Amino acid sequence: MYRCKICRKVYVAPVKYCDCGNDEFEVVVQQQPKQASLYNIQNIISWIIFLLCLTAAVLVWFI
Ligand SMILES: [Zn+2]
């Protein structure tokens, strides 16, 4: 992704000129979504473990 240095508009594909007339762009590296998805996976796993423990506790209660 490319962000205009003047108006901060983000372009997915490289363009020669921004809408504001600027031709200098900075490359934006997307790392946030990866960290977010990794966090989500850890969150889901912890929830599954929690639900398994809860299910086991309920089963013991009923036996
Ligand atoms: Zn611009």
For residue 20, report the distance from its CA to the centre of ligand 1, in Å: 4
Our measurement of the distance from residue 62's CA atom to the centroid of its chain's CA atoms, rounded to an integer in Å, reads 41
- Three-state DSSP at 63 gives coil
Task: Identify the pLDDT of residue 34.
Answer: 60
Q: Identify which has the larger pLDDT, 29 or 57.
A: 57
Task: Identify the pLDDT of residue 27.
Answer: 93
For residue 17, report the distance from its CA to the centre of ligand 1, in Å: 8
Give pLDDT tens digits for 1-55: 999 999 999 999 999 999 999 999 999 887 666 666 767 888 999 999 999 999 9
Domain boundaries, the chain: 1-30, 31-63
Q: What are phi and psi of 4, to 5 degrees?
A: -65, 135
Task: Identify the pLDDT of residue 59.
Answer: 93
DSSP string, 1-37: -EEETTT--EESS--SS-TTS---EEEPP--HHHHHH
For residue 31, report the distance from its CA to the centre of ligand 1, in Å: 23
